[in-house]
A and B are shown apart, each in its own frame.
Chain A
Amino acid sequence: DTAVSQTPKYLVTQMGNDKSIKCEQNLGHDTMYWYKQDSKKFLKIMFSYNNKELIINETVPNRFSPKSPDKAHLNLHINSLELGDSAVYFCASSQGTWSRRGSYNEQFFGPGTRLTVL
C-alpha cells in the first residue's frame, strides 16, 4: 500500500506545453504539499493545502496552479512549460497531531516526478 503516490514518475515534454502531475495520499491527512528539487538538489516548498484550502504559496509563478479536488488529492498543473521548470517534483502530506510531546507534524513524501522540459 503506497501512502503517497504520484503520477507520472517521469515526464518529458517540449517547451510551451501544458502538463499535469497527480498526487494522491491514502493516509487520511488533511494537509498536502508540493516541493520542487532542482538540478543542484535544493528542495523547496511550492504550495500547501489544508482541507482543500491553499495555505502556502511560495512566490511560485502563476503558470503553476495546484488543484485539490478533495483532501486526498493535490494535483499540479503547469502551463507554458519552460526549460527552468525541469526538476523533480515531490508531493507530501501530513496530519498535524498534538500530543503530550507537542505537535507531531511528520511529512510523508511521494516518490517524486522527474520533469524534463526540452
Chain B
Amino acid sequence: DAKTTQPPSMDCAEGRAANLPCNHSTISGNEYVYWYRQIHSQGPQYIIHGLKNNETNEMASLIITEDRKSSTLILPHATLRDTAVYYCIVRVLERFGNEKLTFGTGTRLTIIP
C-alpha cells in the first residue's frame, strides 16, 4: 500500500469547514483512498473512500486531485464532536479477509468553540 503524509495537527472553528489534506504521491492506479477517524478512547470509524472521482456522503466530502497524488477530506460544518484523529489510508481493495488497514499517524483535528 502507498505511503501517506498528513499534517500532525490542525485546528478549526466550530461551524466552519474543516479541510484535511493528505499526500499520497506514490499511489498506483488500483489503490483507493480511505478516510477513518478515531474519537478519543473509541474504535476507528469509517468516513468515506474514493478512487478518482470526488465523493460525498452524509459525513464528509472527499476531493481527489486529477493526478491522484493528493486528496482533501472536507467536513462541511465542523462540530465539537468532530474532534478526533483522522487517518488517510491508501490501499488496494481485496476480498475475503485480506483487507488490512495500515494506519499512519493521522491528523489530530481540534474543533475550537
Contact = CB atoms under 8 A, between A and B. Distances in A.
B97 A50 contact: yes
Contact of A105 (B43, B93, B103): B93
Interface string B13-42: 000000000000000000010000010011
Interface residues of B, number: 24
A28 to B, nearest CB: 15
Contacts, number: 77
A43 B44 contact: yes
A31 B97 contact: yes
Given A35-B101, A56-B100, A109-B43, 10 more contacts: A30-B96, A30-B97, A31-B96, A48-B99, A50-B96, A51-B97, A92-B43, A92-B44, A106-B46, A107-B44
Closest 9 CB pairs of A and B: A50-B97, A109-B43, A55-B97, A43-B103, A103-B93, A106-B46, A45-B100, A96-B95, A31-B97
A101 B48 CA distance: 13
A45 B93 contact: no
Interface residues of A, number: 35
A53 B41 CA distance: 30
Interface in B45-62: 45-46, 49, 51
B103 to A, nearest CB: 4
B99 A90 contact: no
A41 B97 contact: no
Given A102-B93, A109-B44, A112-B42, A94 B99 contact: yes
Interface string A71-103: 000000000000000000010101010100111
Contacts of A58: 100
B9 interface: no
A75 to B, nearest CB: 17
A55 B99 CA distance: 9
A94 B101 CA distance: 12
